[in-house]
Chain A
Amino acid sequence: MYFRFAWVIMVSFIALPHKSMASETRKGILNASPTKCVALNQGRTCYADVIFDISAPTAGDYCLRESESKRILQCWANTDSFTYTLNFGSVESVSYELIAKTHRDVLAVTTIEVNWVHKVRTKKRRWRLF
């Protein structure tokens, strides 16, 4: 019975990443992978290597930047497709946008969601039995 229960847990666990991966493969102008970063506890910095895959409709000059701070991550000249790897680290979700360099028009936005597993941080952890 223990084995059967364990199998249900294991199968669910194996199946889970596939579902989230499927949603990440939809193509657009600005695609990020992964789009979710999971930390152990609320308030802790979550780290991930996020790959931005950009496919612009026409060749041109583009920049990738943080939506809120407007901080430019990188710009590309006279091209329509490029990738960028971000060493992501944040305690909260962050949005990124692709802009056309000349007019500063926002062409696409994507968000890296920061989630956490534990709502309750164990204050005490006492030693166990012998």
Chain B
Amino acid sequence: MCMTIASKVYAEPWYDEDDLEWQLSIGAFYVNTKLPKLIGAKNEFSSLSPLVDAKIQYKQFYLNTHSGDFFGGSDLGYQLIQEEDWGLDAIFGNYQIPFSDTGYYSNEDDKVEELKTINRRKVDQSIGLAYYQNVGEFLAVAELVYDVFGDSNGWVFHIEATRNFELRNWDLWLNFGANYYSQNFNNYFYGVSPSEVNDYLYGFTAGDGATAFVQTQVNYPVAQNWVYSAGASILVGSGGVKSSPLIDSNYARVFFTGVKYVF
């Protein structure tokens, strides 16, 4: 009797296997990143790093993680409406890189003298809607998100256009767009509160802000299950960001190249 029950449980997983798609990739990527310069802190990072990425789709849910390309991060979403030429998703994501008194990455050893009084800027945890529309050969996207679980109480509006060129077995992916950050969002990251003032930082209230970016990536199947990728991304922020005493430059870029094995 017990045996029968056990085998029945094993035969019927909690999910519908026909609706589940997943893919895991591991690889090694060289990534060179230059972020907007925080005063006194390191803002260029180079590393040869392992990559472990996952793509999971179950019914209308999807999760894509990107550890090796561009600025990292994950896409988590739920497809609310899916038509032939357009769609509407509920999305969760991060739109700003966090930093603290050690600079951009918390594993840096020492506090930066110029930043020693600042509070930690935690990554935003934004939720919102993404509208997708095919426009000719381009996929246009508009996203409106609010930092629901973060500390900024701000929102971000994001637009972009993407086109993928198939050149024999190569993929050439082009992407460009812009972001608008609300005053609350921008001020959380780039404002300086009275308690943070020190010899290097004066009190500052940031206004709203904007950035524009362009990115490209090539992918090539070098062998069964192996893919070579390389890409570059450039982003320029509005002058308002640069006027913050925390920031010396409002420019970011990434280069990356590497190979990955796709299971």
Contact = CB atoms under 8 A, between A and B. Distances in A.
Nearest to A13: B259
Interface string B64-75: 101001111101
Contacts of A2: 47-50
Contact of A128 (B47, B71, B226): B71
Interface string A1-24: 011011001101100110010000
A50 to B, nearest CB: 13
Interface stretch (A25-33, A37-45, A77-85): A37-45
| Range class of the A interface residue count | 35 or more
A120 B95 contact: no
Most buried by B among A39, A48, A127, A128: A127
Contacts of A116: 221
B262 interface: yes
A14 to B, nearest CB: 10
Contact of A126 (B130, B223, B225, B262): B130
A3 B48 contact: yes
27 contacts: A2-B50, A3-B48, A6-B49, A6-B50, A9-B27, A9-B50, A13-B226, A13-B261, A37-B169, A39-B169, A40-B219, A44-B166, A117-B221, A117-B224, A118-B262, A120-B23, A122-B55, A122-B64, A126-B93, A127-B179, A128-B66, A128-B72, A128-B233, A129-B70, A129-B97, A130-B35, A130-B252
Interface string B177-202: 10100000000000000000000000
Q: Which of A5, A9, A119, A130 has the most CB of B within 10 A?
A: A130
B48 A125 contact: no
Most buried by A among B35, B72, B222: B222
B108 interface: no
A124 interface: yes
A3 B55 CA distance: 25
Interface in B138-195: 141, 143, 158, 160, 162, 166, 168-169, 171, 175, 177, 179
Given A6-B48, A47-B168, A126 B226 contact: no
Interface in B45-85: 47-50, 55, 57, 62, 64, 66, 69-73, 75, 77, 79
A44 B141 CA distance: 24
Contacts of A125: 64, 75, 162, 175
B132 interface: yes
